[in-house]
Every structure is written in C-alpha cells, then in structure tokens.
C-alpha cells in the first residue's frame, strides 16, 4: 500500500520583513498571499493559475499597519514576527540559496557568451585581415 503526501504550495518570499502601510477604515484591501505581486503587499492578480487566493480584509481605524512580507504569518495579512522566528529564517535562507544559485547560473551563462563572443571576434578580425591582404593581390 502506498501513500502520497501532498505538500501545501509555498509562496514566494518578496520580503523578509513587514510592509508598513497606511490604511483607511471601511475600505476593502486584498493582501497578496502568493508573493508574486508586483504591488506588494497587495494583490495584482499574479496568483492566477495557482492555488493561491488573495486575502480580503478591512481595518477599523486609519493608522499605519504592518502587513506580512514573508507570507508565513499565522495572523496574515498582519505581520506576527514569523520572519524573525525559525520558520521564517529557514525560509529566508532557502530563498537566499535559490537566489544565489540563480545568479551563479546567470553568471555562468554570461561567461560562456563572453567567451563565445571573444572567439567570434577573433575569427572576424582574422577574416577581415585575410580579406585585406588577399583581395589587393587579386585585382
């Protein structure tokens, strides 16, 4: 008998700190739960096609609120300090490792391209030199 364990989808980590925002009472806000929004901490629809849904909320008074940026707070959309606890720190370290790996891969691709471009430039310079040496003798 086999069992499969489904894990919950993991949101992106746009920020390992809260977003301080001034909010107005009675207004509907939609907090981004997927971490992909370009309008953090608010939803811009980037979750479409995923299992994430924005969190609709309102506030009772006009003041500065601190909305979760790590997407792990139990009190979402409000920050509860999870980004400073083991769960948040572990997630942030994973994010940094992945970002570092992505940068390394990008650097490696660019280094290969630079090497290829250098080799292509040498071939082009040699071809031009040969052309300028050979063509005058064939006229």
Q: Per residue in 17-39, pLDDT tens?
A: 999 999 999 999 999 999 999 99
Cα gap 127→134, rounded to integer Å:
10
State how far the Cα of 114 lies from the Cα of 108, in Å rounded to an integer: 10
Q: Flag whether 5 is in a domain.
A: no
pLDDT tens per residue across span 65-96: 999 999 999 999 999 998 888 887 888 888 88
pLDDT tens digits for 93-116? 888 888 889 899 999 999 888 887
Whether 109 maps to a domain, the answer reads: yes
Q: Is residue 1 part of a domain?
A: no
| pTM recorded for the entire structure | 0.65
How many domains in the chain? 1
How remote is the C-alpha of 116 from its chain's centroid? 29
* Rounded Cα distance, 107 and 95, in Å: 18
Domain membership of residue 113 as a residue range: 19-137
Distance between CA atoms of 55 and 47, rounded to whole angstroms? 12
CA distance 102 to 107: 9
């Amino acid at each position: 008998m086999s069992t499969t364990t489904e894990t919950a989808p993991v949101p992106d980590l746009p920020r390992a700190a809260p977003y301080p925002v001034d909010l107005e009472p009675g207004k509907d806000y939609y907090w981004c739960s997927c971490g992909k929004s370009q309008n953090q901490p608010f939803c811009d629809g980037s979750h479409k096609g995923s299992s994430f849904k924005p969190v609709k909320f309102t506030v009772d008074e006009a003041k500065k609120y601190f909305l979760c940026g790590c997407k792990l707070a139990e009190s979402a959309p409000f920050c509860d300090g999870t980004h400073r606890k083991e769960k948040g720190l572990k997630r942030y370290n994973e994010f940094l490792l992945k970002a570092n790996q992505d940068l390394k891969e990008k650097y490696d691709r660019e280094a290969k391209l630079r090497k290829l471009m250098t080799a292509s430039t040498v071939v082009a310079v040699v071809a031009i030199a040969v052309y300028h040496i050979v063509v005058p003798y064939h006229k």
